[in-house]
Amino acid sequence: EPVPQVYGLIDKVLYRGCAEKVSVKAIEGNTYYAKITFRADTDFKITLVKDEERYIGLEKRGRSTEIVTYGAERSNIHFVADVTEVKFLEIFVDRRLTEVFINHGEAVGSK
């Protein structure tokens, strides 16, 4: 689980609701936190960071959940977590650092 102090940095809500497709075009300061709860196990593709130079995404297909990067220092990098079912995600993005906590710490990844 993230250190408790990080929650004190949460400033404003960008989106709250229930939807299959959500798009937030730009986030001031390139820093954000996302908490996502899934009602059922499902495959997904979430763009975490995207600009002219790079892409960082979180993708789940079956049992494989991956942080995928393109155009960063190294291209086509995949960090894979073997989690049977993803029910809860916490995502922290701070400019160039991305941290993902799956199911309250069952798996953790950063890029």
In this predicted model, what pLDDT tens digit does every residue of 74-89 receive, in sequence order? Answer: 666 667 888 889 999 9
Closest CA to 27 of 100, 80, 105, 91: 91
H or E element in which residue 82 lies: strand 77-82
pTM, 2 dp: 0.78
Tell me yes or no: is domain 4-11+30-110 CATH 1.10.443.10: no
DSSP state of 32: E
Exposed/middle/buried for residue 73 (C-beta within 10 Å: 0-12, 13-18, 19+): exposed
Residues 6+ apart with CB under 8 A from 39: none
Domain ranges of the chain: 4-11+30-110
Q: What is the CA radius of gyration of the chain?
A: 14
pLDDT digits (tens, 9 = 90+) for 4-51: 655 666 666 666 677 677 776 667 767 788 888 998 989 999 988 888
